[in-house]
Amino acid sequence: MIRQYNPETDQKAVRYVCHASSTNPAHKASLRLVCSLWCDYYLSNDKAHAFVATDEFDKPVGYVLADVNFDNYKKLYPSYIASIKKESRKDYANSMFIIKHCEKIAADYPAHLQINVLGAFQDRGIGRALVETIIARLRGEGIKGVHVVLKQSNAPAIAFFERLGFHKLLRLRKKFYVLGLSI
């Protein structure tokens, strides 16, 4: 089942999914690092655009998080990751670099998203349902486009988003792709 994120009951589970689904060894070693990078900002600033996929016990097994205002994100997100600068200068620098370059596409693709599904629940259509849910919300609000940033080496995720109609907008440092979808 896909439902709206509930901050009272879902925060810990969403942070667990974020951490557990990470494939980066440095991120696996630090819950704080991975959650600072990929979910805490959204859970604090844009709960209206947070949805969870749940199991039969209503426990989150996946999520999609979005921010619809890139200018606001550009101002606020750096403070969420400032604390990780000492732990991972590389992640901090990559994040700031991505923000700088995503400004180029923000007028047409102002919303951006993060998605994760626990491995045991992948290949069941959950990721597709989560993305379709957030796209329907964004479309209903008149948001004209959404983007997602992926590592170039993450071929399965790139293929997943391309099947959903996203296309490559930018290639950054021969390391990341920014994919976008006009809504």
pLDDT at 51 over 90: yes
Share of the chain above pLDDT 90, in %: 90
User: Which CATH code fits 2-182?
Assistant: 3.40.630.30
Which residues, at least 6 apart from 141, have a Cβ–Cβ distance to it below 8 Å? Answer: 68
pLDDT at 28 over 90: no
Angle 151-5-30 (CA atoms, 0-180°, nearest 5)?
45
**Interval 135-150: pLDDT, tens:** 999 999 999 999 999 9
The pTM assigned to this predicted structure is 0.95
**Count of C-beta atoms within a 10 Å radius of residue 164:** 15
Would you place residue 25 in the very low, low, confident or very high pLDDT band (cuts 50, 70, 90)?
confident
- Could you state, in order of their start, the residue ranges of all structural domains in the chain? 2-182
CA nearest neighbour of 2 among 42, 57, 54, 76: 54
User: In the prediction, which pLDDT does 41 show?
Assistant: 95
User: In the prediction, which pLDDT does 138 show?
Assistant: 98
Does residue 103 sit in helix, strand or coil?
A: coil
pLDDT at 24 over 90: no
Query: Mind giving me the DSSP string for 115-172?
Result: EEE-GGGTTSSHHHHHHHHHHHHHHHTT--EEEEEEETT-HHHHHHHHHTT-EEEEEE
**Interval 68-112: pLDDT, tens:** 999 999 999 998 899 888 889 999 999 999 999 999 999 999 999
**Count of C-beta atoms within a 10 Å radius of residue 105:** 17
Would you place residue 37 in the very low, low, confident or very high pLDDT band (cuts 50, 70, 90)?
very high
